[in-house]
C-alpha cells in the first residue's frame, strides 16, 4: 500500500482568472461562487478533495488587485495571508491575455516569499489559444515566476484537470488527512448561501451594480418539514442602486431570488424558502463597522 499524501494548496491570481471555477471543477461540485464579474470571491474558502491515498485541501482566495477602498484592502490581505503555511502555491493565470499589472504585482509578491512552499504555474483557458499562442504565453508567464513547474488547463472545458491532480499529489508531503473524508469545505452553509445570493446578483445585474453590493444572512433555520428558511438582506451604496436591484415591479429582485434559491437548493440538497430585502448603506466598502458585519475581518 502506498503512503498517504495530504496538504494545503493555495490558489492565487488576479480577479476573474477562474480560481473558484477551478476549485469547483476539481472537487466535482460547487462550493464557491463564480460569475463573469471580477472579485466574485471575497473570503478565503477551503475546498477539500479526499481520494484514495490523498487529501488535497485547496485554499480559494480573492483576486489580488490594486485596492481602492477598505474592502479591496481586505481582499488583498486575505489572498496574501492564504499563502502562509501552505505546502503548494498555484499561480493561476489567464492564458488568453498578456500579463497585466496585477499579474506583475502577484509574481513580484510570490518571488519575494521564502521558498517554503513549492510553486506551480497553471495557465488557464488554454482552449482559447492556438499552438503558437500557447507556446508564447507559456514562455512569457514562466519567466515571471522563479522555481515553478508549469501546467496547462481549461477549467470550464475540464482539460488537463486529471494531469493537474496527479502533479499536485506528487508535490504534497506524506502525512495523514487533516479532515474527515466526507467534508468538502470549511464554510458554513449560511456563508455559502450568502455567496450564492451575491453571485446571482452579479450575474443578473451584469454591469449595472457590479461590486457595490453585499449580502447578509439574517436568519437561517430548518423547518420541521426539512425545508430551510433563509432571510437575507442585500446592501447597496446608493438609492439609485436599490431601485436597480429591485427592478420594475420587483421583477429583478424576484429573478435574483429565484436564481439564488435554485443554487442553494442544489448545494444543500433540500427545498429552500428564500426571503430577500434590499437596503442602502452609504459607502459601506469604506465603512469598517459594515465590513465587520459582513464578516470581512482580518484574522490576527
Give the pLDDT confidence of 256-286 residue by residue, as tens digits: 999 999 988 987 788 999 999 999 998 888 8
User: b/e string for 273-291 if b means 16 or more Cβ within 10 A?
Assistant: ebebebeebeebbebeebb
DSSP assignments along 226-271, one per residue: S-EEEEEEEEESSHHHHHHHH-GGGHHHHHHHHHHHHHHHHHHTS-
CATH code 3.40.50.300 region(s) in the chain:
5-171
Q: Which of 38-47, 84-93, 103-112 shows the lowest mean pLDDT across its residues?
A: 38-47
CATH code 3.30.300.20 region(s) in the chain:
189-293
> In this predicted structure, what is the pLDDT of residue 46?
81
> In this predicted structure, what is the pLDDT of residue 208?
60
> In this predicted structure, what is the pLDDT of residue 79?
56
CATH architecture of 5-171: 3-Layer(aba) Sandwich (3.40)
> In this predicted structure, what is the pLDDT of residue 62?
67
Task: Judge whether 110 and 84 are in contact, CB under 8 Å.
Answer: no
- Going by pLDDT thresholds of 50, 70 and 90, the confidence category of residue 140 is very high
Cα distances (angstroms) measured from residue 257 to each of 130, 260, 275:
40, 5, 8
Nearest to 164 by CA among 150, 148, 177: 150
The residue written with cell numbers 506528487 in the block is 170
In this structure, the number of other CB atoms found within 10 A of the CB of residue 68 comes to: 10
CATH architecture of 189-293: 2-Layer Sandwich (3.30)
- Going by pLDDT thresholds of 50, 70 and 90, the confidence category of residue 290 is confident
**25-29, 160-164, 208-212: which has the highest mean pLDDT?**
160-164
Q: Residue 91 and residue 12: Cα distance in Å, rounded?
A: 5
Give the pLDDT confidence of 200-244 residue by residue, as tens digits: 988 888 666 656 788 888 998 888 788 889 999 999 998 999 999
In this structure, the number of other CB atoms found within 10 A of the CB of residue 253 comes to: 20
Q: How large is the average pLDDT for residues 19-32?
A: 79
CA 10-15-19 angle, to 5 degrees, is 40
Given a cut of 50, is residue 50 above it in pLDDT? yes
- Going by pLDDT thresholds of 50, 70 and 90, the confidence category of residue 42 is very low
> In this predicted structure, what is the pLDDT of residue 259?
94
- Going by pLDDT thresholds of 50, 70 and 90, the confidence category of residue 191 is confident
DSSP assignments along 104-148, one per residue: HHHHHHHHHS-TTSEEEEEEE-GGGS-HHHHHHHHHHHHTTSTTE
Express the helix, strand and coil content of the chain in percent, nearest 5 each. 40, 25, 40
Given a cut of 80, is residue 45 above it in pLDDT? no
- All three cell numbers of 228, joined, read 430551510
Q: Residue 283 and residue 236: Cα distance in Å, rounded?
A: 8
Given a cut of 80, is residue 69 above it in pLDDT? no
Q: Residue 75 and residue 69: Cα distance in Å, rounded?
A: 10
Amino acid at each position: 500500500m502506498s503512503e498517504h499524501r495530504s496538504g494545503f494548496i493555495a490558489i492565487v491570481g488576479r480577479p476573474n482568472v477562474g480560481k473558484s471555477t477551478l476549485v469547483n471543477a476539481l472537487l466535482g461540485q460547487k462550493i464557491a461562487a463564480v460569475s463573469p464579474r471580477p472579485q466574485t470571491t471575497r473570503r478565503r474558502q477551503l475546498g477539500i478533495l479526499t481520494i484514495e491515498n490523498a487529501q488535497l485541501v485547496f485554499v480559494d482566495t480573492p483576486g489580488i488587485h490594486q485596492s481602492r477602498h477598505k474592502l479591496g484592502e481586505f481582499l488583498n490581505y486575505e489572498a496574501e495571508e492564504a499563502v502562509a503555511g501552505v505546502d503548494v502555491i498555484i499561480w493561476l493565470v489567464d492564458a488568453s491575455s498578456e500579463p497585466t499589472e496585477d499579474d506583475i504585482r502577484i509574481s513580484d509578491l510570490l518571488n519575494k516569499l521564502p521558498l517554503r512552499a513549492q510553486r506551480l504555474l497553471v495557465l488557464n483557458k488554454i482552449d482559447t489559444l492556438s499552438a503558437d499562442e500557447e507556446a508564447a504565453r507559456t514562455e512569457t508567464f514562466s519567466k515571471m515566476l522563479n522555481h515553478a513547474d508549469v501546467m496547462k488547463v481549461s477549467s470550464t472545458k475540464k482539460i488537463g484537470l486529471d494531469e493537474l491532480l496527479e502533479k499536485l499529489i506528487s508535490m504534497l508531503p506524506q502525512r495523514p488527512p487533516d479532515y474527515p473524508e466526507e467534508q468538502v469545505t470549511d464554510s458554513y452553509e449560511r456563508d455559502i448561501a450568502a455567496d450564492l445570493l451575491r453571485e446571482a446578483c452579479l450575474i443578473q445585474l451584469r454591469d449595472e451594480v457590479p461590486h457595490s453590493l453585499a449580502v447578509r444572512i439574517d436568519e437561517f433555520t430548518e423547518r420541521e418539514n426539512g425545508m430551510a428558511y433563509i432571510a437575507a438582506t442585500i446592501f447597496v451604496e446608493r438609492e439609485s442602486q436599490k431601485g436597480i436591484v429591485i427592478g420594475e415591479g420587483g421583477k429583478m429582485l424576484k429573478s435574483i431570488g429565484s436564481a439564488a434559491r435554485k443554487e442553494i437548493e442544489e448545494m444543500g440538497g433540500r427545498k429552500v424558502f428564500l426571503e430577500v430585502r434590499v437596503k442602502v448603506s452609504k459607502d459601506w466598502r469604506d465603512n469598517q463597522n459594515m465590513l465587520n458585519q459582513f464578516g470581512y475581518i482580518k484574522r490576527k
